[in-house]
Amino acid sequence: AIALAGCSRDAGKQVGQVTVGFSQVGAESEWRTANTASVKSALVAPGFDLKFSDAQQKQENQIKALRSFIAQRVDVIAFSPVVESGWEPVLREAKAAGIPVVLTDRAVKVSDASLYASLIGSDFIEEGRKAGRWLLQDSTGKPGPIRVVELQGTVGSAPAIDRMKGFHEVIDTDPRFKLVRSQSGDFTRAKGKEVMEAFLKAEGGHIDVLFAHNDDMAIGAIQAIEEAGLTPGKDIRIVSIDGVRGAFEAMKAGKLNATIECNPLFGAQLAQLIRDVHAGKPVPKRIVVEEGVFTQDQAAAALPGRKY
């Protein structure tokens, strides 16, 4: 019995402990950092043995991590797919190895939905709609044309595809809005600033609104707008998504007009989902995280209570 207890598969693993392999997108934004903290606080805990990997926003690193988790024969694999496509082969390998997969935050495009047990995360199309509805409401009484530039998230990622879809579903109904530029800033402050600089050079002072798929790109763009001698939040109204602390600080300073909350703090829900999947219990295919909308006038009061 003693020899068996020491065998390689379960060395150091307590009875009843769930070994989880988690592949995170990277550390590209404040949102991602908060999400990692939430996942780790829930899974670096009794009952779990967490193997965590950061992919630096590269799909090949995520696929390598998933293959490593399969080789280590973890009990459950969880990951936030950096892009929607290209996952079928490795997900089939996980299925063949009998290892259930949980998607967190972002979706995948696969022909066989049985390749993953559940997706827990936000409804990005609705987040895009909320940004569009805020812009419509904030443009009441304003004449056209209202010239809009858009900083897209990571090319091919579910949030970038869906936020764009939801935003345009709403504003394309109003002929005053003209989308003059739309390009990816890869969800980072640095790239957001760089692309906004290019937009400003190309469009001069003829930009009325910036829609950024996340707050980090909006914060980078705010720097570019100021360096161009314009006033963010006034000369160019800005709406972005995530609701991170930096966005509340920018709104408090009058430089950002609204942020659509995208809640990263689903670690505890994920832990319960993983327990249920491991126990073979039926789980919902889609778990949507609840979230709100925050505007400039609410920022100062809301800031102290923000958890990320």
Interface with ligand GZL by CB under 6 A: which residues?
Answer: 28-29, 31-32, 105-106, 121-122, 159, 187, 214, 216, 241-242, 262
Residue 104 Cβ, how far from ligand GZL at the closest point, in Å? Answer: 9
Residue 13 Cβ, how far from ligand GZL at the closest point, in Å? Answer: 31
Whichever of 124 and 177 has its CB closer to ligand GZL, that residue is 124
Whichever of 106 and 278 has its CB closer to ligand GZL, that residue is 106
Asked if residue 267 lies in contact with residue 38, where contact means CB atoms within 8 angstroms, the answer is: yes
Q: Which residues contact 196 (CB under 8 A, 6 or more apart)?
A: 149, 151, 185, 210, 220, 221, 224, 225
User: What's the rounded Cα separation, in Å, for the pair 304 and 19?
Assistant: 36
Residue 76 Cβ, how far from ligand GZL at the closest point, in Å? Answer: 20
Whichever of 208 and 291 has its CB closer to ligand GZL, that residue is 291
Helices (H), ranges, the chain: 2-5, 30-43, 59-71, 88-96, 124-138, 158-171, 189-203, 215-227, 245-252, 267-278, 296-302
Asked if residue 45 lies in contact with residue 58, where contact means CB atoms within 8 angstroms, the answer is: no
Asked if residue 115 lies in contact with residue 88, where contact means CB atoms within 8 angstroms, the answer is: yes
Residue 229 Cβ, how far from ligand GZL at the closest point, in Å? Answer: 28
Find, among 106, 149, 125, 142, the residue nearest to 238 by Cα.
Answer: 149
Whichever of 99 and 221 has its CB closer to ligand GZL, that residue is 221
Phi, psi values for residue 11, rounded to 5°: -55, 125
Residue 174 Cβ, how far from ligand GZL at the closest point, in Å? Answer: 25
> How many C-beta atoms surround the C-beta of residue 280 within 10 A?
8
Find, among 261, 304, 225, 271, the residue nearest to 118 by Cα.
Answer: 271
Torsion of CA 127, 300, 267, 160, to 10 degrees: 30
The residues pairing with 183 across neighbouring beta strands, listed in sequence order, are 151
Asked if residue 224 lies in contact with residue 196, where contact means CB atoms within 8 angstroms, the answer is: yes
Q: What is the DSSP string of 90-143?
A: HHHHHHHTT--EEEESS----S-GGG-SEEEE--HHHHHHHHHHHHHHHTTT--
Whichever of 75 and 261 has its CB closer to ligand GZL, that residue is 261
Whichever of 31 and 211 has its CB closer to ligand GZL, that residue is 31
Whichever of 29 and 296 has its CB closer to ligand GZL, that residue is 29
Whichever of 178 and 245 has its CB closer to ligand GZL, that residue is 245
